[in-house]
Amino acid sequence: MINVYVEISKYLMILLMAMYTFCNFRYFTVAEEEAKEDYCAWQQRILLLLHFIAFSVLFFTGEELLLLPFYGVQLLFFLCYPLLVRKIYPRISRLLLNNVCLFLALGLIMLTRLSLEDGIRQFVLILVGALISLPVPFIMDRVLGLVNWRWLYGAAGIGLLLLVFAAGSVAYGAKMTLSFGGISFQPSEFVKLSFVFFAAAMLYHSLEFRNICLTSAVAALHVLILVASRDLGTALMFFVAYIAMLYAATNRGIYALLGGLMFAGAGAVAYRLFSHVRTRVAAWLDPWSDIPNKGYQIANSLFAIGTGGWAGMGLGQGLPNRIPIVEKDFIFSAISEEMGAVTAICLILICLGCFLQMMLTAYYMDMLFYKLLAVGLGVLYIFQVFLTIGGVTKFIPSTGVTLPFIAYGGSSIVSSFLLFMVFQGMHLIMMGDAEAESGEETEEYWEDEDTDEE
């Protein structure tokens, strides 16, 4: 009987994922606020149902009693967190908030399936992240000095990265973590934010050529320190985010072109300089000729995705644990293996939906600082998604970055929370502006619609 339950719930969860994704995109196409609200409310219900079904499957197949209270506290979180956030900030983007919850739920489901211990630890980290990031929208809305602290952002970023370079510990060939007193964290996850704040504030300050050069030099310093620490995936993300910001600020294709050329040049140099880059490129080109060694990770990831197929093996029915570091870099493959490629595609679409929402924010913000902030953080986010999913599916060589909110890892969870809450802050400012404009400058703003109605 359990077999049948697992099988039926598998298809049910795929259906729920598809419905959730549908709501996500329908949201963009309907104009009325009430309809948008409806879709968001549906998303929340779907999310809770999906989460419930998944944990019931995990419970029936594993019969681990601890799962019951664990599910209970998660349910409490998924009920209370959105309520709390919306209580404090009534004009927050519900869509973005829902998507955060969906990512967290998918991550918790998969991590608990892989290892209950990891799941619990991840949940604690989620609580910490949610709590720390709670005041961020308030700060964004009220603290006016944010645009002026450009050198503070720059100094903090460079300082942290140098500290890692000097005192960090090495894992998987890259120096990424600092530890003290038993707690280890990845400063680069936080430097992501300070870096974008720095570049946005600098370019907002002045778009003169001298200032652009200065900004680019400091940005390049960030990237170079990361390269020296062999954290090439993160270095690449910083680089792309900066080029996008520079392009958005100047609207000059030459910067994008220059960035592309530099990327090609840097790629060629990195290929010659670093043996692990060569290894990864070789594994990407042909993982099959050396499966036991170089191609092991990527081949196992593809085995997982391929064997799972469109509908997946069902939760607990596959072998995701055979993929090395599955809970971090390869969580996407595990989801695709057990929950199906349809779910995986929905997940990609939802990530893309988040990015669209972020770019809408960039589009509608008035102040250049916020625009650049939104572009930088949005590109940083979506490029990270691209690197990790592209890497585990062999679309591009793997870079060892993780899927925000879903993959295991405290620093990553907290920094993703901060990043999304910065957007929520900008959303508040945007809504505030819209309200102010509709009050003060009604004619200018609503002119078109008014004539239509008459």
Partner 1 sequence: MRNKGEKRRTHSGKDLFNRSILRITYGVALIFLGLMAYFIWFVQVESPNVIGNTYNPRVDLMAERVIRGKIKTADGVVLAETQRGEDGTETRSYPYGTLYAPVTGYSQKGKTGIESLANFYLLSSHVNILEQTTKELLGEKNTGDNVWLTIRHGIQAAASEALGDRKGAVIAMDPETGEILCMVSKPSFDPNTIQEDWEALTAEDNREGQLLNRAAQGSYPPGSTFKLVTVLEYIHEHPSDYQDFHFSCSGSYTDPEGNRIQCYGGEAHGEQDLFQAFANSCNGAFARIGEEISPQETAKLAEKLLFNQALPFDLPYTRSSYSLQEGDSLFLKEQTAIGQGKTTMSPLHNLLLTAAVANGGELMKPRLLSHLENAGGENFRTFSSEGAGRLLSEEDAGLLKKLMGLVVTEGTGSAFRGAPYGAYAKTGSAEYESGGERKTHAWCNAIGEGDGKQLAVCVIVEDGKSGGSTAAPVARAVLDAWWAGEENHGEDTNL
Binder among 22, 190, 271, 303 for partner 1 (CB under 8 A): 303
Which of 45/322 has CB closer to partner 1?
322
314 sits in the region (left: phi over 0; alpha: psi -120 to 50; else beta) called left
The yes or no reply on residue 421 touching partner 1 (CB under 8 A) is no
Which of 395/446 has CB closer to partner 1?
395
Element (DSSP H or E) covering residue 259: helix 253-273
Residue 209 CB partners (closer than 8 Å, separation 6+)? none
H helix runs in 134-231, sequence order: 136-142, 150-167, 187-205, 209-228
Which of 293/451 has CB closer to partner 1?
293
Q: How far apart are the first and last CA of the chain?
A: 64
Identity of the residue numbered 84: L
Size of the site for partner 1 (CB under 8 A): 52
Tokens of 159: 């300082």
> 270-273 — which CB contacts under 8 Å span 24+ positions?
270/227, 270/232
The yes or no reply on residue 45 touching partner 1 (CB under 8 A) is no
CA–CA dist 440, 418 (Å, integer): 33
The yes or no reply on residue 310 touching partner 1 (CB under 8 A) is yes
Which of 226/299 has CB closer to partner 1?
299
Half-sphere exposure of 451 (CA within 13 A, CB side): 5
Which of 58/313 has CB closer to partner 1?
313
The yes or no reply on residue 430 touching partner 1 (CB under 8 A) is no
CA–CA dist 104, 118 (Å, integer): 14
The 8-class DSSP code of residue 403 comes to -
The residues in 326-385 that bind partner 1, with binding defined as CB under 8 A, are: 341, 344-345, 348-349, 352, 355-356, 359, 362-363, 366-368, 371, 375, 379, 382
The yes or no reply on residue 389 touching partner 1 (CB under 8 A) is yes
Which of 175/394 has CB closer to partner 1?
394
The yes or no reply on residue 418 touching partner 1 (CB under 8 A) is no
Q: Of 102-110, 112-120, 213-221, 313-321, which segment contacts partner 1 by CB under 8 A?
A: 313-321
Residue 453 CB partners (closer than 8 Å, separation 6+)? none
The yes or no reply on residue 7 touching partner 1 (CB under 8 A) is yes
Binder among 16, 57, 219, 249 for partner 1 (CB under 8 A): 249
| Contacting positions for partner 1 (CB under 8 A) | 1, 3-4, 7, 144, 244, 247-251, 288, 291-292, 299, 302-307, 309-310, 313, 318-319, 322, 341, 344-345, 348-349, 352, 355-356, 359, 362-363, 366-368, 371, 375, 379, 382, 386, 389-390, 393-395, 429
